[in-house]
Every structure is written in C-alpha cells, then in structure tokens.
Structure 1
Amino acid sequence: MLSTTRSRLSPAVKNVPRHALPNAITAKAAFATVRNAHHSLPEPDEPDASTNDFILSILKADPSMRNTKAFRATFNLRARPTPIPADPLPDSALPPLSTQSNPVTKTNVAPETDLHVAAQILNPVYRRTALVKLQGPFTDRQLDSVSKGLVYLEKLGLVSVIVVELDDWIRGGDGEKVAVTNEVNRVVSALESQGARARPILQSIVRLGPKPLDALLADNELATSGEIPIPEAHTLPHDLNTIRSALRAGEIPVLPPLALDSFCRTVRIHSNDVIGALAKGMGEAGNAPVKPSQGGVDDVDLTPLRLMIINREGGIPSYARSGLPHLLVNLTAEHKHIHDTFHQSWASTNPSALGNLALARTCLEHMPPSSSAIMVSHRSPSSLIGNLITNKPELSSSLPHALLQTNRKLSPATPTILRRGLPIRVVKKVSELDRDRMKALLESSFNRVLDEEAYYKRLEERLDFAIVAGDYAGAAIVTSEGPLSSPHRITYLDKFAVDPKHQGDGTVDFLWVALHDESYGLGLPFSANPNGGKGGEGEGTDLVWRSRSDNPVNKWYFERASGHLRIGKWVMFWCDAEKRLKIEEGRRGFAGLSFSEEWEHGRISHWSKHIDAIPSAWT
C-alpha cells in the first residue's frame, strides 16, 4: 500500500501526513472525551466554572500513559482505594473477563489504568517547588489569569516561589522600593482572589556576589569558558527559612528583587540574579527527599522542579520559524547558536529573550536533569499545566516545517521549553565511534542482541554519518545503500535509537532535528546544524528508512515522513529532500507541485528493491 503526503491541490501542505491534518472524526472524538469526562471523575458538591476549567486544562495536556506514570512518580500520588460493595455478588453473577487482543506483561500495566487520567493526578503526597519569574507589568485582568494558572499548579502539587519583575522599573529611581513592595502586595492579592494562600516576603533573601567557594571557581577553566554559569548572588541555608516556613504553612511566597550588599544594605537588583541564587540555594537545600510531615500540611521538597518565566512577549524568536518561537531548546548544544542567529529586529519585540535564555541556562545547571524551563506569555497560562504533566512542548520541534507552519497552535504566544539537554556531534568514521557504548545503546533501545562483528563490518563499507547525543544517550546511524558504484545511492536511516532512560527528555527531538539538518533538510537557511557535520552547506537528499509493520513507534514516523509504502513485514518511510522541492515550488508559484515530479519517477521501486535486501543487524 503506497501513501504519499504531497497534494496537487494543496502545495502549502505537501509534506503534511494526511492523518495529522484536522478532521471531523478527530474533533468529534476529542469532544466526546471532554463531554464524558465527568462520568469518570468524582463530582464536587457544588461544581463551578473554575473546577471545570481546571479539569479541561488537564485534559488539553493530552498526557500519554508514560507521561502520567512519570508525573505520578514525581509527586508520589496516592492510589485510589478499591471500593468494596456491601453485598458482594456471587461469582456466577459476575460478567466474564474480556480478553486483550494485544496481551502485555503485568509489569507494563499500571494498576490504575481503568481510572481517568485527571482523577489520577489530583492527590499529591510530595509537594514540589517551581521558581517563577513574573515579568510584568500586567493589567489586573492579565494578572488574574496568570494567578489562576499558578493556583491550578498548586492543586497538582507544584508550589510556586515567585519573584516579581517589571520591565518599566527604573533601577535607582525615586520610590523604587515602594514600587517593588506595591507590586508584591498586588500579586499576593491576585493569588488570594483565586483561592490561594500567599505570603509577601519583603526582606532580602539573597546576598550580592557569589559564595566564597563559588568565587574560587571563577579562575577555573570550565567556569571562565562559560560551561558552569555562576549566579551573581547567593543564599545561605538559613536565608531560606522564610520560604520554607511559607511553604510548610501552605502559602505561596512572593518575593521582590532585593538583595543585601556587603554593607548589609537592601538594594534592588535584577530578578534574574535573585532567581539564579534561589535555584542554586534551594537545590542544595532540597537534595534529600522530604517525607510528609505529621501535621495537616505535607512538607515541600525545596529542589526546584520547574523554572517558569511568565512575561508579555512569550518565547524566544526562531530564525527557522520566521520569528515565531522556538519550541524546544537544547541549551547545551544550541545556546550559542541562538545568540548568533538572534535578529536585530527582535531586540524591540522580545527585549528580554536573551536575558531569559541565560537565566534558564544558569538555573537548569543547578536543577535536577529531569527539570525544564518554560518561557510563556500571560496569554497561555494553561500551557503551564501541560508542561508540568507532560514535560514537553505543545508541538514537537521535529515535526515537518510545513506541518508546523499550518498548525494553529504555533503563534507568537506559543511557549518555549528549555532543557539542559545534551551535546550533539556528527561522526563521519566508524573509528570515531565507541563500539561498546554504541552496542549497549542499540541493544537497550531495541531490546535485542546485536550481531556486532557483522554489523560493524557493514558500517565500514556503508557508513555515511552518525549523530551521537551526549554520552551515547541516543544515536542516528545513516548509511549509503545500493551498488557502491551507482550514482543513485540511497541515504538510509539504518538505526535511530534512544536510551530508555532518556526517552521523554527531549533527546528524540534533538536527534531528529540534527538528522533533518544533515540529510533531507540540508541546504536550507534554517538547517545550519550547529553541532558539526555539513554546517548547512550542500544539497539535501531523500532520507529513507524501514520499520516493522507492528512497531509502536510507527505513529511517530508517520507524522514526520513525506510518505510510506508497505513491503511485506516492513513499512518503508521516506522524507523528501526539501531544498529542491522548495526551489521548484517557488518557481511555479501558485501552480504548486505535482503528485510525483519527473526526477522522482521510479525512485520508490528502486528504494524498495535495495532496502528490502538489507540484512538484519541482530543475532
């Protein structure tokens, strides 16, 4: 069965998979899910619009089972007790058990799979913290909307530690401290109007300058090279007692951007310095898990789980999306590249973007590896819930550009998710690969035993390039298939693997974006992969790969492929080389592309012939 996504009638979406486009069936199914959600949830005594809005925000996050299990593990959610009927029915009266069409092992099935997702995540045992930069000024209505989102997060177990900032503040101006105090009290009032308990903390929590030991690191080679960002302020353990007291009392602490200088004077500093100091100090104070207290309110783990930057401008503009926001940022690999490609015109529309990028990099260095930062406009408070539950962006950054450009979710208000990430490097020679680590990665990812000698012998002849994420946390191996003397070689994705421990942390998207830039996206201005390789220079080639027809990952492949063909037990996927198609599309104007261009005739039969003959890599 042949399927391709290019359409004569709709050239703007030629690379969009048909199943990814909106349709009536999908819309109807989504409506039915929301409409019937109340049958699975405990009904409050007096349901109100706020409760319904909260539940809908959870449903819109659309968490997978893996996302839900990870969320439950983070907050150690209580399992719902199984109700026992007063008069049990005899066994003969019970309906027969239904059999599963796809049986799975017991260890892979969560015990609460029969409960609705929203009902599973509303009962936290451990409460975690988020550092929040509230970057106004906001109108009263905007502040109420933001406050509602933060209150929803508290219900899910994530308690905010808020630092206020106003873009129109003038440092050193008259009445500076009065303005700071007024804004803190205004935020507290907004939170309390949404039903939360909040506490203004008006004294200085942080101290200017790095800690003495941190200052010594300034002479260290790693520190001076920028690998270890050192905050411009710091806290001592007892400085956090006020925050800890508020959290234990069930209150949201709201702080001004104030600090103590060396003369014990209170001075106003930038909120980024306060948040950076809190990220390091709270991370150090909250390393050990905290057990629930015996009182009425559970204790809170001070280690920040999220950094949330809520502003008026949204995420970081991307040159690859014509100024629309980056979706997912790998700070380790992309920090410098984002600086270098930041257009001068964005300095007026997004003046704090690069400063917030640096803040995320500083904070995530002192937060757990699973943590993330989100830069979000006040227009998208519900995105905070989606990010908390799924820990991923609203749209995958590895989706085809045509699909992203036509998606209504992508707008100036779309949030940017930032992860500490991993270094990404392109390898050209088999001798540059760590065979033992690569073997361990492939076997753990595919859960099969690699025929090592035969596989590496094939790579010696066929390797085009490999992309490695971090210390072999993930890899994409691309080979050149077909007769070695043929000018029509096939660029073949031989292996795409991510260590199970890194699935869900963005590594998959980071790898695929780099793969795009080195193969079918090569030559386009937004495909200058900053991690080595061809650097965006050259002509792109069609990328082809195969997957077993019953592979559960195929859904992910369908969303990214230009087309597919079923070949026996295999599904062959391909991504069209984008540069040639864009040039031809621009030349024809409104006429658009044909279903199959002249240079594409016969390519599918050529691919299928050679790809079906590729030997298995497994024993």
Structure 2
Amino acid sequence: MLTSSVRQGSCRIPSTSRARSAQTFRAFYATIRNLRQSSALPEPDDANPSDKDFIMSILRANPSLRDTRSYLASFGPRPQPPPRPPVKPNEELLPTATPDHQSKQVIPPDIQQEPRSPVVASILNPIQRRTALVKIQSPFTDRQLESIATGIVYLEKLGLVSVIVIENDGLPKGEDGERAALVEETMRVVNALEKQGAKARPVLGAVVRLGPKPGDEEFSDQQPFIVPEAHTFPTDLVHIRSALRAGEIPVLPPFALDSFCRSVRVDANDVVAALTRGMVEAAVEDDHKGADDINGFSDEVDLTPLRLMIINKEGGVPSYARSGMPHLLVNLDAEFSYIADTFDSQWHSSHPTSLSNLSLARTCLAYMPPSSSAVMVSHRSPSSLIANLITNKPAVSSSLPHALLQGNRKLTPHTPTLMRRGLPIRVIRSMADIDKQKMKALLEQSFKRTLDERPFWGRLEKHLDYAIIAGDYAGAAIVTRESDTAPETAPITYLDKFAVLPSHQGDGTVDFLWVALHDESYGLGLPFSANPNGGKEGKGEGCDLVWRSRADNPVNKWYFERSTGHLRMGKWVLFWCDAEMRLKTTEGRRGSAGLSYLENWEHGRLVKWANVIDGIPSSWKK
C-alpha cells in the first residue's frame, strides 16, 4: 500500500514579498480542488503570462493528493510553536480554579498572546522559498527566451527561485570577444525575466573557483560520479545570497577564478556542479548557525537545491526503447552506463549534449537531497516545469504498458526527461540470497500488517521464481510459480508481493521496480526489455503475469492503468498482464482483421487463474 512521505522545509521569504507570496499560495491551494477536471485543458500562450495562464498550468499538472501534500510540505507555511507567555518581573501569580476554589477570576486578555485567526495566520505566515539550479543552453531567439522566462517566473510564484547559469553552445571557447558575448547573453536572459514581471540580477563576477576542492583528490577515484572541476565556498556565495534576499533571480555567466585570480570562461556544467555542492554545504552551515530570528521569520532562502533544470533545444535524452523518443524517467544508479552504451551514433548530432547533461545530473543529484530530481526539457515545454515542481514525476509514467506509451499523444520529441538518483536493481532467484529480516521489515512497513513468517517463508521455499530488490530492500517484487491440483496444468507466474517502503514512495522507486518486473515477465523477449537489472536482460520468452488485490485497495487505480485486464472475485480483484511478445505475434498474424475475438490460448485461462489464486493462503497474521 502506497503512502506519502512528508518533508518539512525551514526558510521563509523576505518581508517585502510576503503578501504577494501568501496570496499566490492561497490561490494555488484554492485551485487544487478542481485538478481532476483539467487533463484536457488547452495549452496557453507561454509568451504572454497572466494569472489565468498560471492557474491553467497548475491545473494541467493534475497532481494527486500525495503530490499536493508533498508540495505543501516543502513550500507551504510551516506550523509555529505555541507562544510562551511573557514572564514579567515581580508579577504576582493569580490563583486558578481548583476543586476547593470554585470562584474563577476573569483575566483581561493579553493582546500579544491572543490566538490569531486562521485567515490572519495564513497572511502573516508566508510560503517558504526554495532554490533550483537552472542551466540555460543558449543561443535562443527573443521569442524562445520569453517562453523560458515564463516557466521560470511561474516557478517563482510557486516558491521555487531559480539560480541560473548561462551557456552558449554556439560560441566556441577561446574566440575573441567570447566574454563580452557571454555577458550580453546573460543580460538578454535578465531582460527576458524582467519583461515577464520577475526581478533578476546579473552576477557577472566569478562565484566558483577553478579546480577540484582541496582534499578531493584522494577521494575522487572512490566516487561513482564525476567530481566537479570547480568548487566554491559558502563565503563565495555572497552575491547569490544578496540577490535571493532581495527577491531577485541571480543569473550567472560560466566564469571561474583560476589560480592567478583571473576570471576565465569554463564549461557551464562545472559551474552548475560546483554551485550545487557549495549551496548544499552552505545550507548545512546555515542550519548549524540557526537561520531564524527570535520572531520565527528569516530573510534567508533555503539554499539546498530541490531541482536541477536543464533547458535546451534538444529536449530529453533519446531512448533506445522508443526509437529515439525521450526517456521518461531515468534511474541514474542503475541505468547511467547502459544509456551511454546504447546511445545511437546519429544522436550525437541531433542531441550533442545529452550524455554530458546526464553526467551533470548524476553529479549534482549525488549532493542534493534524495527527494530531489533533475529534468532535461526543451524550450518548447516551459509549462512542464510546473508539473515537475508540483508532482516531481515524469510527464508520462515510464511503468505504463509499452503499447500505451507508444500511442500516447503526450509523448513527443520535446517530452522532458526526469532523472532521479535512483537505486540499484537486482534479481534474486534463490531463497538463500534473500535477507529475511530486511524483507520482513519491508513487507510489514509497506502493508502495515504483521507477517505470518513460518508459512510465508515455507511457501516461498517451494514456489519462488525470483525476487526483484531495489536498493537495500527499499522495495521488492516477489514472483512465484503457482499451479492447481491438476498435474497436467502448467504453473502460472504470480506476483505475490509488490512493496515499497513508505519513505521511498514518491521518489520513483515504484516505477523503477515495476519496469524491472515488466522486463522479467510479460515484457521479456522484446528489445526494450534489455535493461541492466541483473536479470535475463531481455533474453527469453515472455509470460503472462497474474496477481490479486483487495477490492478496496486504493492502489487498484494504479494497477488498472498497468494491467491488460481485470476480473472481480468477491473481495478480490484479479489483474493480469499479457505477454507482450505473444500479443505482437497475434497482432501481426491478424493484420487488419482487428482484435475483436478470442484466441485459442485465451479460452479458459481466467477460470484457471481464478482457481489457482483463490487457493493461495494469506501471508498475514489475523
């Protein structure tokens, strides 16, 4: 059963922006009620932002209740501790009513201690402001910059303030006048933001220092990611802090100080990576010092980046599984090397920076909080940044059936690619390799029930086919081979348990786990199932996957979207996914005859599945 994980932020907006931010928060909160009716709303003109366009962009994101709670936890007003009554010197303590003292004195209320009404509290307690690092890969036309600025301004209205680093892919390094050209490009972005109603500040001086941070050399070989070729210290971020305190968006060219204290042009990826690490370290230092003043308010913005956004003309990372259409969700821990190995040679010209941006995302996310994400998006899709902020999910779920993804109108060459730090995925085929204590803890926390251990492990000893483990038992899918009493009946592939720790629900683990399950069962045998999950890597013949869920399980909506079909069986719902290779073979044989009649292999299978599943005992103590 999936539950939400709520995180609490810690910083507030400056007093000069409180009224506007609180008003925006209330508008967003009031809009949430009608989100379910917004899936077919038309795309507004991104170049002409207005309050209507802003609300339409929020509606189009269509967040779930979990998404809304997660957003409010990060950006909504945090609860204030109850005020302590002031202690006045030499004040006589007034008697209170006791069983022996029935008379009750009426004390005039202290105006300073009188509770605030919810409306007043919502105005005086503004939304929190968090930061995002944004890399803009110029050159762009004025119209394209307007579109990009619109998305960034929308994010600021929702509490996410961008720290922007400019790159100009059309300006070769070492050319005469490159510094002036980069400064000019920076000013174009600043002007575009201000035309959309934002305040922006160019930070033209170098904020990062060239070279690895002192002490990194001895640990660089031990890191699974590329250590930045630049670094910064908390004291170097004074100009960025100043801009954020003033309610301005800092915009930086890709400059760094070399060993002779000269400002030189460097790769923007090095600047972004150095800023990510430096801002995280500065935020930790702020936490140790204590950012809030005695009144509970602070002009500081939480420097810990929640998002990394890479805006370019290419869009997302092309996928081998979708004939060059973008990856939807990338598990960097498990898929990074495989994506690089399967990167088609022709994509080096159509998507020249995809792999370097993928590497940048892996480096930055290694320093950012586990709930953070990176998104690679085309300048044509600025409003998708809203959806990423509110839901922290890809535009289309990567765990949906492949046929549905192929025909989905939302999947275009400009669909963004969402990247998460992710978890390693491995397939276990022996009970001896399963850590029973960790598996028990995972199942009980996920289902909120007590496992009946002895019969459960005993049944797995006889019927286990394989188990897919995400990370250190952050999630697991247990698949068994089940059959009825008839000896001639072939066993079915049964999804016995699908569980994710509550702390990892909403961070992509569910989709990563289901994609691996697809590749090992009903998707096996197709080219797009050859993922590096430690299993069969696409080699073999797919099989039907069957499972059951209680009729009142709120997760059933998610199952309905991913299954081929379902059958209601009293308190249970039987779900199944047909082997995709067999479906493709059947479709090819039928040609234009359609799919309106049953195949021979479909007759009687529902009865067989129902009989088998009905006989599987419960795994839980009553």
Q: Same fold (TM over 0.5)?
A: yes
Q: Distance in 2 between matches of 1:292 and 1:376?
A: 35
Q: Distance in 2 between matches of 1:123 and 1:57?
A: 25
Deviation at 1:137, TM superposition (A): 1.1
- Change in 2 beyond 3 A, CA 1:29/1:461: closer
Structure 1 counterpart of 2:402: 401
1:457 equivalent in alignment to 2:464:
no
Q: CA deviation at 1:331?
A: 0.4
Q: Deviations over 1:85-104 (max 9, x none)?
A: xxxxxxxxxxxxxxxxxxxx
Q: Does 1:75 align with 2:75?
A: yes
1:256 corresponds, among 253, 257, 263, to 253
Letter of the 2:74 counterpart: T
Distance 1:490 1:122, change over 3 A: farther
Spell out the pairing of 1:404-483 with structure 2 (5 A cutoff). Answer: 404-483=405-484
| Whole-angstrom distance in 1 between the partners of 2:588 and 2:58 | 42
State the Cα distance separating 1:31 from its structure 2 match. Answer: 5.9
TM-score (norm 1): 0.83
**Equivalences for residues 71-470 of structure 1 within 5 A:** 71-77=71-77, 124-218=126-220, 220=221, 222-223=222-223, 227-287=224-284, 288-289=286-287, 291=291, 298-470=299-471
2:3 aligns to what? none
Match of 1:569 in 2: 571
Q: Secondary structure at the match of 1:464?
A: strand
CA contact (8 A) 1:397 1:509 kept: yes
Q: Contact 1:124–1:157 at 8 Å: present in 2 too?
A: no
How many pairs were matched up?
Answer: 539
Q: Does the 8 Å contact 2:545/2:576 carry over to 1?
A: yes
The Cα of 1:264 is off from its aligned counterpart by 1.6
Tell me, in whole angstroms, the C-alpha distance in 1 between the residues paired with 2:133 and 2:179. 22
Report the more deviating stretch, 152-161 or 592-601: 592-601
Identity between Structure 1 and Structure 2 (%): 66
Distance verdict in 2 for CA 1:31–1:375, change over 3 Å: closer
Which amino acid in structure 2 is aligned with residue 433 of structure 1?
Answer: I
Tell me the distance in 1 between the aligned counterparts of 2:38 and 2:364: 39
Task: Say whether the 8 Å CA contact 2:147–2:382 is kept in structure 1.
Answer: yes
Q: Are the structure 2 counterparts of residues 336 and 33 from structure 1 closer, same or farther at C-alpha, using a change threshold of 3 Å? A: closer
Q: What is the CA-CA distance between 1:590 and the residue it aligns to?
A: 2.4
Q: Once the 2 structures are TM-superposed, how far is the Cα of residue 568 of structure 1 from its aligned partner?
A: 1.6
What are the ranges of 5 or more consecutive residues in structure 1 without an aligned counterpart? 1-26, 36-47, 81-113
In 1: Cα distance, 2:171 partner to 2:125 partner: 40
Alignment of 1:4-15 (within 5 A): none
Long gaps (5+) in structure 2: 1-33, 43-47, 81-117
Paired residues of 2:38 and 2:62 also in contact (CA < 8 A) = no
- How do 1:483-498 and structure 2 match up within 5 A? 483=484, 486=488, 488-498=490-500
Tell me the secondary structure at the aligned position of residue 524 of structure 2: coil
Distance 2:39 2:580 in 1: 38
Query: d(CA) in 2 for partners of 1:64 and 1:31?
Result: 12
What SS does structure 2 have at the residue aligned with 1:213? coil
Please say if residues 127 and 298 of structure 1, whose CA atoms lie closer than 8 Å, have aligned partners that are also in contact. no
Letter paired with 2:529: S
Q: Give the counterpart letter for 2:129 in structure 1.
A: R
Q: CA deviation at 1:265?
A: 1.8
- 3-state DSSP of counterpart to 2:363: helix
**Partner SS for 1:605:** helix
**Alpha-carbon distance change, 208 to 487 in structure 1, aligned in 2, over 3 angstroms:** farther
Q: How does 1:504-519 map to 2 (within 5 A)?
A: 504-519=506-521
1:525-604 equivalent positions in 2, closer than 5 A: 525-604=527-606
Question: d(CA) in 2 for partners of 1:161 and 1:402?
Answer: 39
Q: Distance in 2 between matches of 1:123 and 1:546?
A: 46
1:387-440 per-residue CA deviation (whole Å, 9 max, x = no partner) reads 111111111100011111111111011111000011111000111011001001
The change in CA–CA distance for 1:122 and 1:618 in structure 2 (over 3 A counts) is farther
Distance 1:536 1:354 in 2: 24
CA gap 1:544/1:272 in 2 versus in 1, 3 angstroms: same
How far apart, in 2, do the equivalents of 1:553 and 1:78 lie? 29
User: Any conservation in 2 of the 1:249–1:297 contact (CA below 8 Å)?
Assistant: no
Secondary structure at 1:216 match in 2: coil
Choose 1 or 2 for highest CA Rg.
2
| Aligned residue identity for 2:423 | L
For 2:363 and 2:198, how far apart are their aligned partners in 1? 30
Q: CA deviation at 1:442?
A: 0.5
Task: Read off the aligned partner of 1:308 and give its amino acid letter.
Answer: M
Task: Return the alpha-carbon distance in structure 2 between the equivalents of residues 618 and 147 of structure 1.
Answer: 54
Residue 292 of structure 1: how far off its partner (Å): 5.3
Q: In the alignment, residue 470 of structure 2 is paired with which amino acid?
A: A
Do the aligned residues in 2 keep the contact of 1:210 with 1:231 (CA within 8 Å)? Answer: yes
* Per-residue Cα deviation, 1:461-516 (whole angstroms, up to 9, x for no partner): 00000001111111000000005954611000000001111111000000000000
TM (normalized to structure 2)?
0.83
Residue 109 of structure 1: aligned partner: none
Question: 1: distance between equivalents of 2:59 and 2:77?
Answer: 18
Change (3 A) 1:295 1:253: farther
CA deviations 1:490-546 (Å, max 9, x no partner) are: 000000001111111000000000000000000000001201111110000000000
User: Contact conserved, 2:483 with 2:489, CA < 8 A, in 1?
Assistant: no
- 1:522 aligns with 524
